[in-house]
Amino acid sequence: MGPPAGQVATHRELGLTDSEYERIVELLEREPNGVELAMFSLLWSEHCAYKHSRKLLGRLPTDGERVVMGPGENAGAVDVGNGYAVAFKVESHNHPSAVEPFQGAATGVGGILRDVFAIGARPIAILDSLRFGELDSERSRYLLDGAVAGIGHYGNSIGVPNVGGEIYFEAPYEQNCLINAMCVGLARTSEMVRAAAAGPGNLIVLMGASTGRDGIGGASVLASAELEAGDDAKRPTVQIGDPFEESKLLECCLELLNRGLLVSLQDLGAAGLTSSAGEMASAGGVGIDLDVRKVPLREADMEAFEIMVSESQERMLAVVEPPRLDEVVATCQRWQTGSAAIGEVTGGGHLRIFDAGEPVGDVPVSALVDECPLYDLEPAEPEGWMYSNEETLGTQVALSVGRSADAGDPSAILPALLASPSVASKRWAFEQYDSLVGSRTVRRPEQADAAVLMLPESERAIGISIDGNGRRVACDPYAGAVEAVLECAANLACVGAEPLGLTNCLNFGNPEKPNVAWQLDRAVSGLADACRKLGVPVVGGNVSLYNETGQGPIYPTPVVGMVGELPDPSRVPGMAPRDGDELLLVGPFAPSLAGSELAKLRGDLGPGLPALEISEVAAAIAFVRELARSGAASAIHDVSDGGLACALAEMAIAGGVGLGIELDPLVELRGASGETCLFGEGPGGFLVALPEASALKLVEEAAEGGVGALRIGSCDGERIVISAAEAEASVALEDAERAWRSLPSRVDPGR
């Protein structure tokens, strides 16, 4: 039976297909009214239901001996000893940020903070992974400036340090930027709480800010569809954040949990009251009754459906035993944050909505939360490269501080790569964030490959990293996703941290298109295989699909966030070598220009990355981790964007010392050209600086461990000189640093 003609337009406008509408009618055994249809449109959206990705996510390993909370909770958590757990999660706020970058990014930070303190963990760090179009675009500069300002505004105001992240600039993100925010929190394991509602007769209490019309339809209208021309009209679906309100709410919730006054707690994010109440009821196997007229409103004339789907920020939903309501309300008043009992837990298994006592909606919780159709993808490998290529190397070299504009001259290519916005220093952005507030930060941005935070409560420290490279995933979705996991683990290894758990954010285009479906399918398999080989469980994450416009999809961008443990933060090496140190290349690094930054600048991208052996890279990661913990190395830095030459230059800049490097041993070992050894990319390479007397011993230890290490040069002088067979890059240290720090001249922070 099809829906009436009038309803067809309504459900389609809300993002539901005809078959989904018919399924809703079948489940309800009647047609939904307006309130119910709005609720279904949100919880059956891609953003909430993961209807095109949930089957794939079952491939990811989620079990581990240190896992305290896994997928399905507001955030994952791992045991860090002494009765404490670290909670963490990464989520996207892509489409809102593409429409309104400041508020979109700010509320993305606010949302991920609430996910963490919803389980009883105090946020102690923020990281972010950002993607924009090329910086010669006015739109890209507008999005970048707004998003960075929004992230800084929210995190700085609430007093949580931003300790790391990444920013890439690629043409496919021109219209659809990516804003992925990660939060890390610390909790006493005994005080953590789950989101499941329990106890018929218990009260449903809404805490925090009042409810307005901002954010209505965000999950279905904005986040679960492709962006189109004229989407500035969707600005009303972008939430407005207030970090000071959230700060009060955070402290209030943590006190309530510490005092044992809450049965369960859930944040209100996408889909507002509908998702929070529905998911709490589903998790607890209970029903919930809500009266929308008991909800504190900013706008008195709001209709019932608007109240149920509003995504107003800084709100939490709690289950409270009736005798404890007065204590909860009094605590909220002391923290100057709102509270109101708006309903109760029932045993009926239905989510029932009332408006001043009059019923306006009644749906089975199972139908709303669990019965959304899950779709099988129809993947098809594209016949060729899906993205446009534009050669920019000549321009980049001409603008660089190199000695010539010859696109084949390594001495010009190196500063050109260092000045490339994706490789260049992001100090302009990092300086807008407070990375030290809270007094836990040991290593902050640009000091090491991963952030390091002290945890005196558990008598140890943690390393944190967030990584991904959409361009390389576009070249090979499986290998590129594997590399993202390995890169994250490698960054942790550089500071001596062993991975405890992983969170991810899967940013892809429209999964209903076969080529995008193929990218998603292959990337999830790559993530799963890499996690299993490394023994790292996935404790949660987020999926963001439909990231494309009429110009096509974004690069497929799985972003990986990882938390690791290390015993002694005082021994953590940075990436700054000392004058006189010897440099070694450790690990199975096999450079290739495929998918590299140099290939991009030459307009030379295409399908394919070299095959890699995960176990070999994993062995190198373990070896480097123990080396970092030993305190024997002055500096450790992994080889990443821009290849060996850029990694060496970054170390030279950090240490303020020149380098003399000879890569002929790598040329012979890999049978590669000199240019490839200079600028080729790939996983498994680590640069280690240490006193000359220790170098030979390290080479022997690496050989015994089956890892391999090459002595490639030393640190001295005021030039960076790197030779590989017929190729040589020679650049003054000050010129290399000028190129690497060139990004501020391309971005106007006052825009």
Q: Note the pLDDT tens digit of each residue in 252-281.
A: 999 999 999 999 999 998 789 999 999 999
Rounded to an integer, what distance in angstroms lies between the CA atom of residue 81 and that of residue 295? 41
> Which of 38, 738, 64, 28 lies closest to 416, judged by CA?
738
pLDDT of residue 743: 81
| Euclidean distance between CA atoms 380 and 511, whole angstroms | 11
Residue 718 falls in which region: left (phi positive, over 0), alpha (psi -120 to 50) or beta: alpha
Kindly report, residue by residue over 291-304, the tens digit of the pLDDT. 999 999 998 889 99
Q: pLDDT tens-digit profile of 600-647?
A: 999 999 999 999 999 999 999 999 999 999 999 999 999 999 999 999
Which residue in 575, 442, 441, 432 sits closest to 128, CA to CA? Answer: 432
Mean pLDDT score of the chain: 91
pLDDT of 751 reads 39
pLDDT for the residue numbered 241: 81
Q: How far is CA 369 from CA 45, 51, 196, in A?
A: 11, 11, 13
Handedness of CA 354, 355, 359, 362 (dihedral sign): negative
**Percent over 90 (pLDDT), the chain:** 80
For the question of whether the overall pTM of this predicted structure is more than 0.85, the answer is yes
pLDDT at residue number 406 = 72
3-state secondary structure 126-158: EEEEEEECCCCCHHHHHHHHHHHHHHHHHHHHH
**Does position 407 have pLDDT exceeding 80, yes or no?**
no
**pLDDT of the residue at 108:** 92
Q: Please compute the mean of the pLDDT values over residues 143-164 and round it to a whole number.
A: 93
Summarize the confidence of residues 578-604 as an average pLDDT: 96
Question: What sign does the dihedral 387-393-394-400 (CA atoms) show?
Answer: positive
Q: How confident is the model at residue 165, as a pLDDT?
A: 93
Alpha-carbon span 130 to 182, nearest angstrom: 11
Q: 690 forms bridges with which residues in the sheet? A: 582
Measured in degrees and rounded to the nearest 5, phi and psi for residue 494 equal -65, -20
User: What is the rounded (10 degree) CA torsion for 505, 508, 512, 514?
Assistant: -120
Contacts of 725 (CB under 8 A, 6+ apart): 663, 664, 667, 673, 674, 677
Token pair for residue 295?
A: 């909800």
What does the pLDDT average to over 476-488? 98
User: Per the structure block, which two tokens stand in for 257?
Assistant: 């949990």
The pLDDT tens digits of the residues spanning 646-685 come to 999 999 999 999 999 999 999 999 999 999 999 999 999 9
Could you give the residue numbers annotated as active site?
47, 93
pLDDT at 222 over 90: no
Q: How many CB atoms lie within 10 A of CB 201?
A: 10
Asked if pLDDT for residue 748 goes beyond 90, the answer is no
List the domains of the chain with CATH numbers: 573-744 (3.90.650.10)
Query: What confidence score (pLDDT) does residue 305 get?
Result: 92
pLDDT (tens digit, 9 = 90+) per residue, 557-576? 999 999 999 999 988 999 99
> What is the SS3 string spanning 539-561?
EEEEEECCCEECCEECCCEEEEE
3-class secondary-structure state, position 747: coil
Distance, in Å, from the CA atom of 581 to the CA atom of 592, rounded to the nearest integer, reads 28
Q: Which of 158, 206, 219 is nearest to 337 (CA)?
A: 206
DSSP 329-394: HHHHHHTT-EEEEEEEEESSSEEEEEETTEEEEEEEHIIIII-SPPPPP-----SS--S-----HH
Torsions phi, psi for 187 (to 5 deg): -145, 150
Average pLDDT over residues 95-104: 90
Alpha-carbon distance of 712 to 653, in angstroms, equals 18
